Amino acid sequence: MTETTGGTRGTDGAAAAQRDARRGMVRAVAILLAVTVVFGVLAGVFFWRAGTGSDEPLALSSSRQAYEDTDNRAYLDADATAEVSEAATEIVEMLLSLDYADFDAHTEQVRARVDDEMFEEFELTAEVSREVNTQARTVTTAEVFDRGVGVRTLDGDTAVVTLIVDVQGTVDGEPLANMSSPVQMTLNRIDGEWIAVELAQL
């Protein structure tokens, strides 16, 4: 009788240990996913693409003189510059802000603010992202820093904008360390609305 009880307790203990190990693995994967998404390592989830490879330094302020005698209207056309800056800020904050409990709504927001190619990339890993983030109860909130937006080029219906974005988040209710990164977004104006067509980490 004593041996049977001990064996049962041993089996229960082993099963509990396995469950704890699985929970720990899910949480570890979720943390890794959250970190890699924010810093652009996990391509496709939030459509981070390779950097431009340009030697041009990151600059978040520009002068009118720098754009004279070119087709670049950034900062020469103040209204258009403000408009595309606002659009880029709204889009990047939306892309990187995720609530595991509202994944479907987030998907529809993404669909409305990116082009078809970017949305196809999102869909490639959407189900994996949904499963992992739901299990880990991942919540992230992104915010572009004050004065952290610069329009590099504005030529007709195409613009390139640099932003410095800060992301805060929780996994299973526990906070993640804040993560900040400069990014570059390319936008096209389609039917009067600015739409993201590329997002790259700088």
pLDDT tens profile 52-66:
444 443 444 444 444
pLDDT, position 51:
43
pLDDT tens profile 74-106:
989 999 999 999 999 999 999 989 898 999 999
Contact 60, 164 (CB under 8 A): yes
pLDDT, position 65:
47
pLDDT for 111 beyond 60: yes
Half-sphere exposure of 158 (CA within 13 A, CB side): 6
pLDDT tens profile 116-171:
998 988 888 888 888 888 888 888 899 999 889 999 999 999 999 999 999 888 88
pLDDT for 16 beyond 90: no
Domains of the chain in start order, with CATH, are 2-201 (3.10.450.230)
Return the residue matching tokens 């889009």: 91
pLDDT, position 189:
96
d(CA 64, CA 84): 17
In terms of average pLDDT, the best of 19-23, 55-59, 177-181 is 177-181
Average pLDDT, the chain: 77
Supply the pTM of this predicted model.
Answer: 0.72
